[in-house]
Structure 1
Amino acid sequence: MTEKLIEEFRLLFEFKASKNKWQKPLLTTISIGVPLLMGLFLGNIKYGLNACLSGLVIIYLPESGTYTNRILTLLVCSFGFMVSSAFGYLLSFNPIVSIIAFGLFSMIVHWIILFYKTSAPKSFFFILIAAMSICQPFDMESIPIKVGLMALGTMLTCMFALVYLLYLSYKEPISSKDKIVPIFKQNPYADIWETLIYGGVMSTSLAIAHYFELDNPYWIPISCAAVMQGVSLYHIRQRMFQRIIGTFVGICFTWCLFHFIDYGPFSICLSIIILQFFIEILVVKQYAVAVVFITPFTILLNEAANPLFNTNTLIALRFEQIVIGSIIGALGGWILYKEKIRHATMNKIESLIKM
């Protein structure tokens, strides 16, 4: 028993081999950093923060396939980011409406991702953008500006991606992605089951956040979505522990940063850019260690937007929300991958469809 616990603990912090090139983390850092620094130098850091989130779309740039297909994939995902942003802002006027709408939106996005068999991070960042938008105070006049900044940010990111692909065209021969032949026949009703559970869990997580009237309630559904990225019940449980442990260590790291370093607007932006680079390198190798850097990254984003917010309160609140969201995500994963529940539900869905 003791040996098994030691082995499980070792696996939590095991570094995995990665074939990702160093250029991709650098490209992601540039895509996020440039809009942020532009906002800082133009005297509107909040606009820079809004635009820099769109730089996350670069993560969906495929590593294989023709260059045309890669840039088209990025353009489609950029449009998805804009839709997610607009959807959230437009439906943030009422908590009950936002809870229901967020659940339905999560279902639709997750089904589309499953239908096209999109690789990781799958629907996560679309959910993140929608969650952050739908939890903002409703202001109809500012919606065109916010969505416009998201659009400008994705356009800038696509430009960086195009330069990167032109660079690759001189270094690597053009290759087409090999067609994947499935070994096992996929259950046609499995996607329906997964999307129903996913949407229901996302809606529940946002409802819990609103019920407790938390500041920045979007961190609960975001943490929930991050944990539910696991591909099995074991993987989901592992991600929950990695996220909670990584967040705890990350909060200690953040506390040290704020208490020993005198942060101004420029140093906060520079820290965000540096942390993002380390996150992109580590997230595919060791999720728990990556979360150690993700925690100060998210807290610094909030500090840049709201410099008068009490840092100690913010740190405590962030840990509480991430723990709650991670537990909800683990429960959702248990429902999703528990074979008896899954088998009975898919049989019921099949019988209803055939009626």
Structure 2
Amino acid sequence: MLASIKDIIRREAKQFFQLKKSERLWHIPVLASVCTGLPLLVGYSLGRLDFGTLACMGGLVILYLPSTSLENRMLTLLVCAFGFIMSFAVGIAFSFNPYLSALVLGIYAFSVNWLTNYFRLSPPGNFFFVMIASMASCMPFDLLAIPTKVGLIALGTMGGFVFAMGYSLYIVRRYPDKMKDPGIRKRHYTNLTESIIIGLFIAISLLTGHIFRLDNPYWIPVSCLAIMQGLNVVQVGQRSFHRIVGTFIGMGFSWLLLQLNLSTLQICISIIVLQFIIEVLVVRHYALAVIFITPMTVFLIELSRGTAIDANRVIAARFLDIFIGSLIGVVGGWLLHNQKLHRKAERQLRKTRIAILRK
């Protein structure tokens, strides 16, 4: 028993210091940096960085560009762009009540997960839809400002779509061997069970943040979902460990960057560079990517607020959010990959469906 535990620790320690191989082209990190950085620079030039940060979120839609035919690429990105807009609209529409917003976010996460699995959407799958909805649900409620904010998200997605179209026209001819088919569709009841679990834990995560009155409670469901996206129980544990360690190191890196007292333009450029590094690393080593995700989110918070932030407070709050979200995500991930629970849930769902049809 002791020997097996030592072997597991040795294997995990070895994997922690290894970079995974990836077939991802370097073009994607560049595109992601451009699509998120350009709105920031436009916002800076217009003196409205709050607008720039919102449009920046919409630009992340470029990460859903699949390696398929040109038609499928454009259709997928259009649907995902609509999903981004819908996610933000749903989140901010219910931000007037923290408890209602947690419930709505859970239901929305359930729906998004079911749809992304049903249509076999490639990674990052449901992640950014839920992330945007979560962030929007924690924004101050201002009914008159909602159309403007939703429009800014839409502008960001439009920019991403334009860049994706230009890139796709080139890439489908230059790299025809990179075209991939979508994966196997999950069974109906498996998809339904997983979606229920994800929706439940996303709601619990956001509710936890609101109950404890944390500064940025949306990072708890975001961290929870990031952990639950592991392919199995082992990977869920690995991602949790990587996220906590990466955040801890990233906090130190963030603190050092904040001591430089960078100008607003320098912060915008730093975000662009960090986005590129993150997209290069996230498919190779999750913990390394999280190290750079931490300062990028801190910078985005500073830009969105428009005022200098208390570095120590923001960094400490960020670590607490990640830690709580990771713990909740580990529990949710264990349930998500518990085959015995899945079989019981599927049997119960079938019985319920049959009982309803007989009435």
If the length of structure 1 is used for normalisation, what is the TM-score?
0.95
Q: Which amino acid aligns with 1:22?
A: W
- Give the secondary-structure state (helix, strand or coil) at the position aligned to 2:294: helix
Counterpart residue number, 2:216: 216
> 1:127: how far off?
0.3
Tell me the amino acid that sits aligned with residue 263 of structure 1.
L
Task: Return the alpha-carbon distance in structure 1 between the equivalents of residues 7 and 79 of structure 2.
Answer: 48
> In 2, Cα distance between the equivalents of 1:106 and 1:13?
33
Give the letter for the 1:131 counterpart: S
What do you get for the CA RMSD once the two structures are aligned? 1.6
Matches of 2:66 and 2:158 in 1, distance apart?
A: 17
Q: Which of 138, 142, 145 is 2:141 aligned to?
A: 138
Alpha-carbon distance in structure 2 between the residues aligned to 1:58 and 1:44: 23
Do residues 116 (structure 1) and 116 (structure 2) align? no
1:230–1:236: 8 Å Cα contact kept in structure 2? yes
CA–CA distance in 1 between the matches of 2:279 and 2:179? 25
Q: State the AA in 2 paired with 1:47.
A: F
User: Which stretch of structure 1 is more off in the superposition, 266-275 or 336-345?
Assistant: 336-345
The alignment status of 1:166 with 2:134, answered yes or no, reads no
Q: Is the 8 A contact 2:87 2:129 kept in 1?
A: yes
Pair 1:336 & 2:339 matched: no
TM-score (norm 2): 0.94
Q: Which residue, out of 32, 35, 48, partners 2:36?
A: 32
- In 2: Cα distance, 1:42 partner to 1:202 partner: 36
Task: State percent identity of aligned pairs.
Answer: 43
2 CA distance for matches of 1:303 and 1:176? 40
In structure 1, what is the Cα distance between the partners aligned to 2:239 and 2:45?
A: 38
1:247: Cα distance to partner?
0.4
| Distance (whole Å) between structure 2 residues aligned to residue 12 and residue 196 of structure 1 | 31
Do the aligned partners of residues 40 and 6 (structure 1) sit closer, same or farther apart at CA in structure 2, a change above 3 Å counting?
same
Question: How far 1:178 sits from its partner (Å)?
Answer: 4.3
Tell me which residue corresponds to 2:291: 292
Is 1:86 aligned to residue 89 of structure 2? yes
Residue 273 in structure 1 maps to residue 258 in structure 2: no
Q: Residues 175-224 of structure 1: CA distance to partner in whole angstroms, max 9, x if unpaired?
A: 864476x5xx9543111110110100000001100000111110101101
The Cα shift of 1:82 comes to 0.3
Consecutive unaligned residues of structure 2, counting only runs of 5 or more, are none
> Following TM superposition, by how much is the alpha carbon of 1:6 offset from its aligned partner in structure 2, in angstroms?
1.9
- Conserved in 1, the CA contact under 8 Å of 2:69 and 2:172? no
Answer whether contact 1:275 1:297 (CA < 8 A) is retained.
yes
Q: Deviations over 1:261-296 (max 9, x none)?
A: 221111111110100000000000111100010111
Matches within 5 A, 1:1-355: 1=3, 2-63=6-67, 65-173=68-176, 177-178=180-181, 187-259=187-259, 261-306=260-305, 307-355=307-355
Q: C-alpha deviations, 1:128-176, integer Å up to 9, x for none?
A: 0000001111100110000000111111111111111122245244986
Secondary structure of 1:48 counterpart: helix
CA 1:152–1:74: 2 relative to 1, 3 Å: same
Preserved CA contact (<8 Å) 2:122 2:182: no
- 1:240-259 deviation per Cα after TM superposition (whole angstroms, max 9, x unaligned): 00000000011111111122
5+ residue gaps, structure 1, are none
SS at match of 1:189: helix
